[in-house]
Amino acid sequence: MSKASQLNDKQLEAMKYTQGPLLVLAGAGSGKTSVITRKIAYLVQQCGIPAHRITAMTFTNKAAREMKERVGKLLGKEEGKGLSVSTFHTFGLNLLRIELKNTPLKNNFSILDADDCKRILMDLMHRDNLSGAESKELIAKAMKKISDWKNDLIVPEQAHTTCETPEDVQFAHLYQLYERNLRAYNAVDFDDLIVMPTRLLQDNAEVRDRWQNRVRYLLVDEYQDTNTAQYILVKLLVGVMGQFTAVGDDDQSIYAWRGAKPENMALLKEDFRNLKVIKLEQNYRSTSRILKAANHVIENNPHIFDKKLWSDKGHGEVIRIITCRNDDDESERVVKDLLTHKLMNGKNWKDYAVLYRGNFQARVLETQLRQMQIPYKLSGGQSFFGRAEIKDVMSYLRIIINPEDDSAFLRIINTPKRAIGPVTLEKLGLFAQENHLSLLAAASDQRLTMVMPKKATTQLAEFAGFINDFTRELLDDDEPVPKIRQMMNDAGYIDYLRETAATPAQEKTKIDNVEMLYTSIQSLINRAEDVDEKNIESVIRKMVLLDMLEQQQEDEDTDKVNLLTLHASKGLEFPFVYIMGLEEELLPHKNSIAAETIEEERRLMYVGITRAQQGLTLTLAEQRKNGGQMKQMTPSRFLDELPQDELDWLGRKKKLAENVDPKQQAQQYLQNLKALLKR
DNA sequence: CACGGGACTCTTTTT
DNA sequence: GAGTCCCGTG
């Protein structure tokens, strides 16, 4: 990324072009974030567009955060007031809140995450007895299908017209039930945050005018990752004026499998006849050798827009390819190579990244790194909000701001254990349905004694009472966080964490996580700009979308080797990069070979290569463990697509003595190195 | 309801 | 081979 405040000619052109729709084809490392942030400043300072009339959209919170920070440095506090830089989802959420009366939603609606939605679908399938509990796979399929329908803006009533298999017909039916369910809970899923605003703008001219007027200029980052609903949302927001800049790179589209439509890039050209296209091809990140490799590989893909990266950073180091005996050997080599390189060149751990196709590949690597006592940071895995304890606490909070949130109710009713089992819940659910009550309301209903044993009703009533008491106390409390802490203690939840933890270490992490959640609720309250954002309801609703804790964690001790999937590496850069597992059926992955989506795998390879600034090392194993069995592997076709004269193939060295304790071996290796360095 | 054995799978993931 | 999930038994 170009840190210098000086933009090159192309970047300047992209910044200054404001006459109409603009597509910036920004190759990897071409300084696109600089262009976007500088353009925002330009629009405000040179074009006289007030900041509150400018909206910038990104895909991740992290990207939004970074952008805000960088714009903040360019604009004065007054100048930047009201600027909207957010993810698509957060933008959608705000729009829904502002336009609440024009939506089917009531105040304080809940946002359900994938897990909640899964539960609902499972429940619906059970209740409807749709070929029952072949669950897991079927549920996942149904979720995917429903999400696809939503993102293509197909309403439940239309869904059956698109069905191709009997299974689809079932899913279409399920989709209807699911939507009805969400509305009954006064809840939305993540897709709704895009789809509902889009529909609203489509159907309601008054609302559309209001928003088109508000959004005078729109900037969209990572445009190649938009899905249909997102693109239509963009079109509706910019209207016929088409005052927008979309920044993207079709070669870095690696999310088609979750609904992204890279075709949207070509579509832009059709939908806006006067679209201006500017290419950013100068790369400020990598040596020209690395870029040559990247260009070489990606040339094998068909292209809508041609683009070739170049840089003036010199040829740089040769690209190394290491063939290893098996996966264990591969990890060992990478780790030793990295360690040697680090010590010899006086680099930091954080200067290195190891990239791989699947998370499972990190496991061997981890053991290896631990033996060598190398600090590492594993990204991916489950996110903060995916952790059970966080979801539990969030569910307590959710039911407080939205008593109709049955999904939250189900999550916490028996966490910690309150002797309320599936049978009781089944009856409660039935009763609630018949009387059109939420589960929480039903739990304290007097008439329950008629349908279930007394003992169960007392338990339910007690729980409902507990929640209701805290709801009252919390909502008119100026200092909600201590109250929340008290609630979780009184609920016995903290004790429950202590009792159920497998190890003392796990207990500590879990309790720390919960404490971090409290802290971040507090900081969200402190940071809120207006009174409206300060109230606990809005804070909690926002929490579902945020990942600020992950950021806090990252900020702490950062000198660590980075371990990440190729997907997770997009947008990042490292001086020295290793890419592991360059084998057929792994990269490209076998499912992609079967589905003939090699192009996306190739882009993945391209993304990986372009992460490297100075050094790039690719590794492959001759054999790999696969389900307990050793499997013979074939070198990846992508290796053939590299410029062969820039490569240094390293065969495998003689294996160190067999049957040596790996820990001892690691120690030995370290000592040798230290001795070497002392000289 | 909790525990444990057997079956099953093993690409990528944000909001 | 290991981790997870489902279901049956105590």
Alpha-carbon distances of A208 from A154, A205, A239, rounded to whole Å? 20, 5, 9
Residues A313 and A198 grouped into a single domain: no
Q: What is the mean pLDDT of residues A152-171?
A: 86
- How many domains is chain A partitioned into structurally? 4
Which residue is listed with tokens 């050798």? A289
Q: How many residues does chain A have?
A: 679
Which candidate, A605, A548, A539, places its Cα nearest to that of A62?
Answer: A548
Decide if A428 is inside a domain. no
Q: Is A535 exposed, middle or buried, given 0-12, 13-18 or 19+ CB atoms closer than 10 A? A: middle
The angle that helices A480-490 and A504-527 make with each other, rounded to 10 degrees, is 150
Is position A530 annotated as part of the catalytic site?
Answer: no
Decide if A441 is inside a domain. no
Q: What is the mean pLDDT of residues A643-660?
A: 68
Decide if A507 is inside a domain. yes
What tens digit of pLDDT does each residue of A625-634 get?
Answer: 876 678 888 9
Q: Say how far A225 CA is from B12 C1', in Å.
A: 14
Residues A402 and A515 grouped into a single domain: yes
Decide if A2 is inside a domain. no
CB contact set of A393 (below 8 Å; sequence gap of 6+): A484, A488, A493, A514, A517
- Residue A298's Cβ-side half-sphere holds a number of Cα atoms within 13 Å equal to 28
CATH of the domain at A317: 3.40.50.300
How far, in Å, CA of A461 to CA of A440, rounded?
A: 9
Residues A473 and A507 grouped into a single domain: yes
pTM: 0.85
What percent of chain A shows pLDDT beyond 70?
90
Rg of chain A's alpha carbons, rounded to an integer?
A: 27
Residues A393 and A495 grouped into a single domain: yes
Decide if A70 is inside a domain. yes
Residues A402 and A519 grouped into a single domain: yes
The angle that helices A388-401 and A504-527 make with each other, rounded to 10 degrees, is 40
CB contact set of A586 (below 8 Å; sequence gap of 6+): A357, A358, A624, A633, A636
| Boundary (domain end) residue, out of A262, A282, A302 | A282
Could you check: is the Cβ of residue A627 within 7 Å of any atom of nucleic acid strand C? yes
Residues 126-165 of A with CB under 7 A from strand C: 133, 135-136
Please say if the pLDDT value at position A277 is more than 60.
yes
What tens digit of pLDDT does each residue of A20-36 get?
Answer: 999 999 999 999 999 99
| Boundary (domain end) residue, out of A496, A524, A551 | A551
**Domain residue limits at A274:** 9-99+194-282
How far, in Å, CA of A297 to CA of A605, rounded?
A: 8
Which of A99-103, A114-118, A259-263, A338-342 is predicted least confidently?
A114-118
pLDDT value for A2: 42
pLDDT value for A556: 60
CATH of the domain at A490: 1.10.486.10
Residues A451 and A537 grouped into a single domain: yes
- The DSSP secondary structure of A486-513, one letter per residue, reads HHHHHTTHHHHHHHH-SSHHHHHHHHHH
Residues A232 and A248 grouped into a single domain: yes
* Strand nucleotide closest to residue A359 (CA to C1'): B11
Residues A591 and A634 grouped into a single domain: yes
What tens digit of pLDDT does each residue of A247-271 get?
Answer: 999 999 999 888 899 889 999 999 9
How far, in Å, CA of A342 to CA of A576, rounded?
A: 10
Show the 3-state SS of A393-423: HHHHHHHHHCCCCHHHHHHHCCCCCCCCCHH
The sheet that has A319-324: what strands, in order across it?
A376-378, A561-565, A352-356, A574-579, A612-621, A319-324, A647-650
pLDDT band per the 50, 70, 90 thresholds, residue A678: low
What tens digit of pLDDT does each residue of A118-154 get?
Answer: 878 877 777 666 554 456 777 888 888 899 999 999 9
What tens digit of pLDDT does each residue of A463-509 get?
Answer: 999 999 989 988 877 788 899 999 999 988 888 888 777 667 677 77
Please say if the pLDDT value at position A657 is more than 80.
no
Residue A477 near residue A400 (C-beta atoms within 8 A): no
pLDDT value for A557: 62
pLDDT band per the 50, 70, 90 thresholds, residue A515: confident
Is position A444 annotated in a ligand binding site? no
pLDDT value for A347: 94
Q: What is the mean pLDDT of residues A9-19?
A: 95
Q: What is the mean pLDDT of residues A276-291?
A: 95
Q: Say how far A87 CA is from B14 C1', in Å.
A: 10
Which of A36-40, A169-173, A465-469 is predicted least confidently?
A169-173
pLDDT band per the 50, 70, 90 thresholds, residue A541: confident
Decide if A300 is inside a domain. yes
What tens digit of pLDDT does each residue of A71-82 get?
Answer: 999 998 889 889
Is position A222 annotated as part of the catalytic site?
Answer: yes
Residues A322 and A348 grouped into a single domain: yes
CATH of the domain at A149: 1.10.10.160
pLDDT value for A652: 56
| Boundary (domain end) residue, out of A490, A520, A551 | A551
pLDDT value for A502: 65
Report the mean per-residue pLDDT for chain A. Answer: 86
Residues A509 and A483 grouped into a single domain: yes
* Chain C: bases < 7 Å from a protein Cβ: 1, 5-7
Residues A461 and A487 grouped into a single domain: yes
- Say which of A411, A570, A611, A624 is annotated catalytic: A611
Is the bond into A104 cis (omega within 30 degrees of 0)? Answer: no
Is position A32 annotated as part of the catalytic site?
Answer: yes
Decide if A531 is inside a domain. yes
Residues A542 and A672 grouped into a single domain: no
Decide if A303 is inside a domain. yes
Q: Indicate if the alpha-carbon torsion angle A582, A586, A589, A594 is positive or negative.
A: positive
The two beta strands, A623-626 and A629-632, are antiparallel
